[in-house]
Amino acid sequence: MDMFSALIASFRQVAETGGPVVVVLMGVAVLTLAVAIYKVWQFWRSAVGRHKALTEAVEAWDRGDRPVAREALGRSKSYLAPVIKMAMVSNGKGSGAGVERLQAEAETRFAKLETGFRLLDSVAQLAPLLGLFGTVLGMIEAFRSLQAAGSQVDPSILAGGIWVALLTTAVGLVVAMPTALILSWLEQRMEAERVIADKAILTVLNPSNDVPASAAATPAPTPEMVAAHG
């Protein structure tokens, strides 16, 4: 409890020293932290990156083992499982329209997972600018105080004003840098998810064990047929 009180006191001191710009940046930091925690929970709940059963289902479907593929897909908790199930129901009819429909279904799920990315991107870009804005305001105030002092200039007035002004830039960078790292990780995960989804959809619609209809309709030559033609 004492540690928490000390932390609150430190934040309060920084806010009082840095002024309204620092208060705004601290509010943005709390919002960003909440969004980051929510995104991590959402990714975990949707089983992002955990596609073991889904991969087993796609591999089984690719080699023609349909029952095993459906059983493995039933065990999958991946958010992509319904999309792959739709692809399996289509019986590998990989027409252009079918592929686009399935990719659209996958993109709908990607869009839900990418909610909040624009906010994080805005924070990563604007937090340093907001901190710089606070620094400019602080420098203006410092030089105004220096001018008001007239001939009795005290260097400590200018030095104190400068370090207080630079505090807002430091806070802006502290907010922006972790936000940029979190956003980069989330975007990298989504790029990998798109690759996995595209591969799974195309594999199910065009399995490697798929035999062309013309080949399936032509019976294999028997010894009698060979002897008759010989």
Tell me if 79 sits within 8 A of 48, measured CB to CB: yes
> In the chain, what percentage of residues exceed pLDDT 70?
74
pLDDT digit string (tens) for 171-226? 999 999 999 999 999 999 999 999 999 999 999 988 887 644 344 344 445 555 44
Give the CA-trace dihedral at 91, 70, 101, 51, to 10 degrees: -140
The answer to whether 164 and 136 are in contact (CB under 8 A) is no
Q: pTM of this prediction?
A: 0.76
Q: What is the pLDDT of residues 8-23, one digit of tens each?
A: 666 676 666 667 888 8
For residues 158 and 146, the answer to whether their CB atoms sit within 8 Å is yes
| Cα–Cα distance, 22 to 24 (Å, whole number) | 5
Q: What are the C-alpha distances in Å from 24 to residues 118, 121, 135, 206, 209?
A: 19, 17, 14, 54, 60
Tokens representing 100 are 């686009």
Identify the three-state secondary structure at position 49.
coil
For 56-75, write each residue's pLDDT tens digit.
999 999 998 999 999 999 99
Please tell me the predicted confidence (pLDDT) of residue 188.
95
Q: Give buried/exposed letters for 120-135 (b at 16+ CB in 10 A, else e).
A: beebbebbbebbbbbb
Over residues 105-126, the mean pLDDT reads 94
